[in-house]
Amino acid sequence: MTTTTHRIPPAELSGLSGALVKRMARRKVGRVPDSLGVAWHNRRVMRFMFGLGRKAERWDACDAQLKAFAHMATASVVGCSACLDFGYYQAHHAGLDLAKARQVPVWRGSDAFTALERDVLEYAEAMAQTPTAVTDELSTRLREALGAPALVELTAFIALANLYSRMNTALGMESEGLSASCDLPPLTLATATA
């Protein structure tokens, strides 16, 4: 599904570099998302953003499922359907709990999550607010449950999710239907209350 709301039209990924980016995208998600064409307008920024993501994927002090839920919660608060769509796609391919992943946007009304997962989701939402709304009590609970190294990692991961979500929404990026390939259509607050 291609969106027409990009605020910058996608550029053609050309040359040897473009061919390499297309090949990597097809290997990772099965096709070349329009968002790559938008990012292609400034390749230095694109490489920086991809580099951040690749480095963050190697962090291992905090549980991958907790970080995935936090990223989806951040995307949901910011309103980034592209990030939520990609988050569902990644959750499917990483073997995460898909029933829980689908409930992230409506986690407050769901009984699917553990107390720790609920604290992580609350933390992600609090970090997505402007100004941030993280409380000392919530931070203490998470530090006691996860340890300081994992909490630092979780915080950085949520900060990156804010960066990606806010950049995508500002550029008019929307879901490109990646999650449809794994039969996990995004559940948003709007569809949950309809």
**Average pLDDT of the residues in 9-19:** 94
pLDDT at 189: 45
Q: Which one-letter amino acid corresponds to residue 7? A: R
pLDDT in tens, 40-66: 999 999 999 999 999 999 999 999 999
CA distances to 9, 11, 87, 117, 126 from 68, in Å: 29, 30, 7, 11, 16
DSSP letters for 71-120: HHHHHHHHT-HHHHHHHHHHHHHTT--HHHHHHGGGGGG-S-S-HHHHHH
Name, in order, each residue with C-beta under 8 angstroms of 53's C-beta and a sequence gap of 6 or more.
160, 164
CB atoms under 10 Å from CB of 20, counted, come to 11
Angle in degrees, CA 167, 22, 79, rounded to 5? 25
- Distance spanning both ends of the chain, measured CA to CA: 23
pLDDT at 37: 93
pTM confidence score:
0.87
Q: Please determine, for residue 104, whether its predicted confidence score (pLDDT) is greater than 90.
A: yes
pLDDT in tens, 142-172: 999 999 999 999 999 999 999 999 999 999 9
Q: Please determine, for residue 187, whether its predicted confidence score (pLDDT) is greater than 70.
A: no
Task: Name all contacts of 169-172 with Cβ < 8 Å and 24+ positions apart.
Answer: 169/78, 169/79, 169/80, 170/7, 171/6, 171/7, 171/8, 171/38, 172/3, 172/5, 172/6, 172/7, 172/8
